[in-house]
């Protein structure tokens, strides 16, 4: 069987602002540049349960929305800051929800040809294995996934 040449039109990098995700974004940007692909950088914020602690008053909807918005902007700014994306189209996306499920749905929606993620993220637990988001993405995404150590 003859396989068509693989050449990505759309490359997605998922970032949570961690060092691993910054390395992943760097790899994604290089691949996008070399293939003249569109680069989409996505961050997903999970609304933290019990964010306000036991017995505290829940934040107002506006306060919560603003806190999430600030967090997402911070992560995206940090990720894009040092990327070399000269000559390619770059889009940044913020979503709210479960990170792995949201990223998988997004990649299908934009017909991503490649998803690039870090092996680890901003989670506080030191692991020998990859993080749970990277693990789920590599198992369930509908497109090729590149996991950057
Ligand atoms: N909220 C998120 N939005 C976008 N990308 C994410 C998000 N969380 C993780 N990722 C991507 O997945 C990679 C691995 O992160 P992951 O969350 O799996 O590891 P971890 O934080 O070390 O472990 P865990 O979250 O399981 O405690 C990150 O480098 C990033 O590319
Ligand atoms: Mg994590």
* CATH superfamily for domain 10-129+139-148: HUPs (3.40.50.620)
Q: How confident is the model at residue 73 (pLDDT cuts 50, 70, 90)?
A: confident
43-62 pLDDT per residue, tens: 998 766 555 555 667 777 78
**DSSP symbols for 48-86:** PTTTT-TTSPPPPHHHHHHHHHHHHHHHHHHHHHT---T
* Residue 57, number of CB atoms within 10 A of its CB: 7
> How many Å apart are CA 139 and CA 62, to the nearest integer?
36
pLDDT of residue 51: 56
CA dist 90 → 29, 41, 79, 109 (Å):
9, 8, 12, 17
Taking the CA of residue 24 as reference, the ligand 1 atom at the shortest distance is 31
Q: Percentages helix, strand, coil for the chain, rounded to the nearest 5? A: 40, 20, 40
In residues, how long is the chain?
Answer: 149
* Res. 34: pLDDT tops 90: yes
pLDDT of residue 59: 73
pLDDT of residue 61: 79
Instruction: Work out the end-to-end distance of the chain between its first and last CA atoms, rounded to an integer number of angstroms.
Output: 33
pTM of the predicted model as reported, rounded to 2 decimal places: 0.90
Query: How many angstroms does the Cα of residue 74 sit away from the middle of ligand 2?
Result: 16
Pocket of ligand 1 from Cβ distances under 6 Å: 14-16, 18, 20-21, 24, 42-44, 99, 117-118, 120-123, 125, 131-134
Mean of all residue pLDDT scores within the chain: 90
Q: In this predicted structure, which of 58-62, 90-94, 127-131 has the lowest mean pLDDT?
A: 58-62
Q: Which of 88, 68, 87, 71 is nearest to 79 (CA)?
A: 71
pLDDT of residue 48: 61
Helix axis angle, 19-35 relative to 61-81, nearest 10°?
60
Query: Which neighbouring-strand residues pair with 39?
Result: 11, 90
């Amino acid at each position: 069987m003859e396989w068509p040449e693989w050449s990505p039109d759309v490359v997605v990098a998922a970032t949570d602002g961690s060092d691993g995700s910054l390395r992943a974004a760097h790899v994604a940007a290089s691949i996008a540049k070399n293939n003249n692909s569109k680069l989409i950088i996505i961050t997903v914020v999970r609304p933290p349960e019990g964010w306000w602690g036991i017995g505290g008053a829940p934040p107002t909807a506006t306060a919560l929305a603003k806190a999430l918005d600030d967090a997402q902007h911070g992560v995206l700014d940090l990720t894009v800051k040092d990327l070399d994306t000269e000559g390619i189209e770059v889009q940044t996306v913020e979503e709210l929800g479960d990170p792995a499920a949201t990223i998988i749905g997004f990649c299908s929606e934009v017909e991503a040809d490649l998803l690039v993620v870090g092996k680890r993220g901003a989670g506080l637990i030191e692991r020998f294995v990859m993080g749970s988001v990277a693990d789920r993405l590599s198992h369930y995404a509908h497109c090729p996934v590149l996991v950057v150590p």
